[in-house]
Amino acid sequence: ISITVKTRDGALRTLDAPEGLSLMEAIRAGGIDELLALCGGCCSCATCHIYVEEAPEALKSPQGDDENDLLESLDFRKANSRLSCQLTLSPELQDLVVRIAPED
């Protein structure tokens, strides 16, 4: 699955990642370590916060209560916010474009 990531300095990186990986894992495996993901994907740290800029299907994939609660606690939450550890790469997300949210 090809995804494009905008980092905080505005750079664009395109990565190829296997289906089934979480978006957070794909971003970190691509060497973008400003996405801290401190909890390792347990949906408890919110340091994997991203904005979905293209491929809005990603916003339709089910958001768990835990994810919603954590997003609620963030100052920088927007309508297109997601926690990247809670999104699994699938063919619908081909050409997904996301932006790494500012540090909360």
Q: Is the dihedral of CA 19, 23, 25, 26 positive or negative?
A: positive
CB of 74 to ligand FES, least distance (A): 11
Q: How far apart are CA 55 and CA 60, in angstroms?
A: 10
Q: What is the DSSP letter of 79?
A: T
- Which of 5, 17, 26, 37 is in the footprint of ligand FES by CB under 6 A? 37
Residue pointed to by tokens 């400003």: 34
- Which of 46, 52, 93, 101 is in the footprint of ligand FES by CB under 6 A? 46
* Binding-residue total with ligand FES (CB under 6 A): 14
Q: Report if residue 50 touches ligand FES, rule: CB under 6 A.
A: no
> Can you read off the two tokens belonging to residue 104?
């909360």
User: Contact residues for ligand FES (CB under 6 A)?
Assistant: 24, 37-39, 41-48, 83, 85
